[in-house]
Amino acid sequence: MGHVICIANFREQSGKTSTAVNLAASLAVLELKTLLVDCSPDGKASAGLLPDSDDTAFGLFDVLSGIVSARSAVSDTALSYLQILPFGEGENSLDRMLAMNPDREKILSIVMEKFRDEYDYIVFDTPSTTGLLSRSAVIAGDSLIIPVPSGEKGVRGVKEVLAFSGRLRQSGENPLKLSGVLFNRCDPEGMSQAHDLGGLEKAVYPVPIPLSQDVDPCRPACLYDMKSPVVEAFFDLCYEFLYRDSL
């Protein structure tokens, strides 16, 4: 059964999309059948993986609206083992549309049940808010990866996501497992700084993702140069995640 990985941080500019896209691509290169779900209305992951698609393609919004089936909204990408469920159109009306649905916060869990038998891994790229889709994605996840830029604001984002996931565990809604905290888009010299993660230092992935100006952060770096430091770092993340997932 497919394992759902939620990439979440309620703060902007934390590197969620680049992490989701490149982790999904790394899993696909290892020939693990992977689905990337773009839960973010800005659609950056969709644009990065489907650069030539038109604006009329169906997506997650249409699935949640009941317009199309989940399977019919999935698209292929340049990587054989990677498919994407793009977000689609209609970002401003989703919360209002689902307001009367008693299962609204579990809506992504319900949709993903249709895919769990088809994929090895399902990766969520989530919005930079505490809104419905962010909450629903965390509830639907099996594992949580929190990407953060180095600095105090990034650390605050970690604590916010952990507080929400902790409430889920206490309520029994989801025994979500924290896979790790990932320092993303980092200046290697700055990584010597100490970060107060409230005792979660051991959860930090050992290899931070370096800052790169050479590639579009919303496209898989492996499509540019398989030997680049960014690609190597994401493969290290991928292998470490698979190891932690096996424990």
Residues 41-66 have pLDDT tens digits of: 889 999 999 977 655 578 999 999 88
Mean pLDDT of the chain: 85
Query: 177 or 151: whose pLDDT is higher?
Result: 177
Task: Give the tokens for residue 179.
Answer: 């896979």
Q: Is there a contact between 76 and 83 (Cβ–Cβ < 8 Å)? A: yes
83, 77 in Cβ contact below 8 A? yes
Per mean pLDDT, which of 34-38, 49-53, 152-156 is the most reliable?
A: 34-38
Average pLDDT rounded to a whole number, residues 96-115: 87
- Contact predicate 181/207, CB 8 Å: no
- Is residue 9 a contact partner of residue 130, using CB atoms and an 8 Å limit? no
Confidence of residue 201 (pLDDT cuts 50, 70, 90): low
Model confidence at 82, in pLDDT bands (50, 70, 90)? very high
- What pLDDT is stored for residue 152 in this prediction? 58
> What count of other Cβ atoms lies within 10 Å of the Cβ of residue 209?
25
For residues 99 and 75, what is the distance between their CA atoms, to the nearest angstrom?
28
Q: Taking 60 as the threshold, does the pLDDT of residue 104 lie above it?
A: yes
| SS3 at position 143 | strand
Angle between the N-to-C axes of helices 16-29 and 229-246, in degrees from 0 to 180, rounded to the nearest 10? 80
Q: What is the pLDDT of residue 177?
A: 85
Kindly state the percentage of the chain with pLDDT values over 70: 83
pLDDT at 193: 45
Which has the higher per-residue pLDDT, 189 or 109?
109
122: amino acid identity, one letter: I
Position 237 confidence tier, pLDDT thresholds 50, 70, 90? very high
13-22, 54-63, 67-76, 90-99, range with the lowest pLDDT = 90-99
Residue 89 has pLDDT above 70, yes or no: yes
Burial classification of residue 223, based on how many CB atoms lie within 10 Å of its CB (0-12 exposed, 13-18 middle, 19 or more buried): middle
Mention every residue, 6+ apart, whose C-beta is less than 8 A from residue 117. Answer: 1, 2
What is the pLDDT at residue 247?
A: 74
CA 166 to chain centre: 19
Residue whose token pair is 């317009």: 67
Token representation of residue 23: 């982790």
pLDDT at 207: 75
